[in-house]
Amino acid sequence: MRKTAALRNLLRRPELAFVLEAHDGVSARIVEEAGFQGIWASGLTMSASMGVRDNNEASWTQVLEKVEFMADATSIPILLDGDTGHGNFNNVRRFVRKLEQRGVAGVCIEDKLFPKTNSFIKGEQQPLADPEEFAGRIKAAKDSQVDADFQVVARVEALIAGWPMEEALSRAETYEAAGADAILIHSKRSTPDEVIGFRRAWGDRLPVVIVPTMYYATPPETLESEGFSLVIWANHLLRSGITAMEQTARTIAHDRSLFNVEGEVASVKRIFELQGAAELADAETRYLPESPKDAQVVVLAASRDPGFGALTEDQPKCMIEVGGRPLLGRQLDIIRSCGLRDLVVVRGWKAETVAFDGVRYVQNDDFDDSSSAWSLQLGLPDDDVPLVVAYGDIVYRKHVLRTLLDENADVAVVVDLESRDRHAKPSGDYVKLAGKPQLAGVLEDEPLLLERVAGTDESADGEMIGLLKTSRAGTIRLKAAMERLQSEDRLRHANLSVLVGELLAMDCRVRVVPITGNWVDVNDLGDLAEASSY
C-alpha cells in the first residue's frame, strides 16, 4: 500500500489510531520498530533537534530535508507538522508538491499567522488567521497534490487562543468546505472536555485528530468511545532523549569516565542496526565488484611436525625462525603488504607461543589427530565472504600472493609448474591440468584449470603450494565440499588437496595461478636453509 493510502486509512478506519512523534531518521525508525502505524513529524521537536525555536526559525527547506531522511528510513506513513504552511497560499502550493516528492503522506496546517509561535507559549495572545484566507491555503494544498490520497489536515487553534467553541466549529466547517481531509482540534486543558465537546458537536463530517499532550491521563478507551480518529503523541521521543542525554552527560562529567554509563546506553551495534548497516552489506554483495582486500585470510598453523626435533619441542612449526623472523611472521608481513587486514590464524601445538598483533586466533585442540581441512573449517567465517587460505609453513615471494589476488575466479589455487624438477621428494599435492600449462603473464583465450588432484602421480603437471583463494560464491562451494566430506566422515583427516579434489568432483571450476619456483614448503632443515634466501 502506498504511504498516502495508508495514512488515509488510518484517519478513516472505525477504530482509534495512534501515531508517535519523530524528529530524524533514527527516531522515525524507532517509531516503526515499536509497532506504530504512522509517524508525526513534529515541528517542535525537529526545530529543537536543530537547536532553534519553534517559531519558523528553521526554514521550510530545512524541514523538508529532515523529513526526507525520515521517509527514506521507514515504510510507514508520515504526517508532517507543517506549521502555517510557511507563508500564504503560494508557499503552501510549492510546499505540498515538495512533500509529495519526498514521500511524505500528508501535512497538517494550523490556522495561525506566519511566523508561528508554539501553541503552549502565551496561546491566548496569539492572533489567528482569517478563516477565509486560511481556507485558501487548504484549497491551494488540495489543488496542488498529485496523489489523490495525500492527506491535508486543518488544525484549528481557536480553543488554544481562548475563542469559544462556536468559533472552533465555524472554522472547521470553513476548512471542510475548502477540501480538508481531517480536522485537528487542539486544546491545552488538562482534561479532554473541550475536545470531546467539539467532537460531539462536530459529528462525523470529517475525521477528528487530537494531541493529548496536556490531557495525557485520559484513558485511550475514553477517546475511542468518543469517536476520535487519530491520536498524536507529539513530542515524547525527543523529551525522553533529552532526559537520557542530560543524565549521561552529567555522569561522564562527574566521573571523568565511561564506566558507569556504558552499560546504560545503546550499543554501537544498535546504532548500526538503526542505520541499516545489514542492508548495505547485503547490497554490496550484489552491486560492488569484489575487492581482494575484502577477503578474510585463514592461515593454517596448528601442526608441530616432530620431524624437526628440538626445534618444535616448545613451539609449533610455524614459529621456527628463518633469518631471525618466524615463518608465520614472515608470511603475515607479506599478507599485510598486499592490503589484507582480516587475519585469522588456526593454532594448535603450543598455541600460546603464536602471538602477533592484529590477528584473531582459533584453536584446533585436535591438531595431533586432524589435518588442514579440519583446521580450515574451524577458522571459516559464518558469512560467505571471500577467502584466502594459506599453509602456515610456506615461504613465498610477495608477487605470488599478488598474482593470486588478481585472479578473477570463484576458486583459484597457486601451482608450481616446475616443482618436480626442483624437488626429488614426492608430494601429495601434485595436480594434473586441463590443457597445456602456461606461465603467468602469457595471454590465452581459455583460463588454465585443474583437471584432477594427481597425488604422487609421475605424470603430474605441477604442485599446489598451499595458497587458495575464493570469491563469495567460491566460499559457498568450499563450505558445501567440506560438508560433504564431513557427511562421509572424511573431513578430519583431509588436507587442502583432498578438499580441492572434492570441489572438482562437484563440478566446480578451479582456476590455476601458475608459477615457477619463488616459494619453499618448509619440511626439513634443507628447506629452512633455502627459505633463508627469501
Provide the annotated active-site residues. Answer: 54
DSSP state of 387: E
CA atoms within 13 A on the CB side of 513: 23
For 185, the enclosing helix (H) or strand (E) is strand 182-185
Query: Helices (DSSP H) in 288-427: which residue ranges?
Result: 327-337, 372-379, 398-406, 419-422
Give buried/exposed letters for 113-124 (b at 16+ CB in 10 A, else e).
Answer: eeebbebeeebe
Neighbours of 459 (CB within 10 A): 8
Query: What does the alpha-carbon distance between residue 99 and residue 209 come to, in Å, rounded to a whole number?
Result: 21
The phi and psi torsions of 469 (rounded to 5 degrees) equal -130, 140
Neighbouring residues of 222: CB distance < 8 A, sequence distance ≥ 6: 192
C-alpha cell at 207: 475525521
DSSP state of 125: G
The amino acid sitting at 155 is: R
**Cβ 197 vs Cβ 216: under 8 Å:** no
Q: What DSSP line would sit under 194-255, residue for residue?
A: HHHHHHHHHTTSS-EEE--SSSTTS-HHHHHHTT--EEEE-SHHHHHHHHHHHHHHHHHHHH
For 119, the enclosing helix (H) or strand (E) is none
Burial of 530 (0-12, 13-18, 19+ CB in 10 A): middle
C-alpha cell at 371: 589435518
How far, in Å, are 121, 380, 472 from residue 384 at the CA level? Answer: 57, 9, 5
Give buried/exposed letters for 368-384 (b at 16+ CB in 10 A, else e).
Answer: eebbbbbbbbbbbeeeb
Query: What does the alpha-carbon distance between residue 301 and residue 318 come to, in Å, rounded to a whole number?
Result: 6
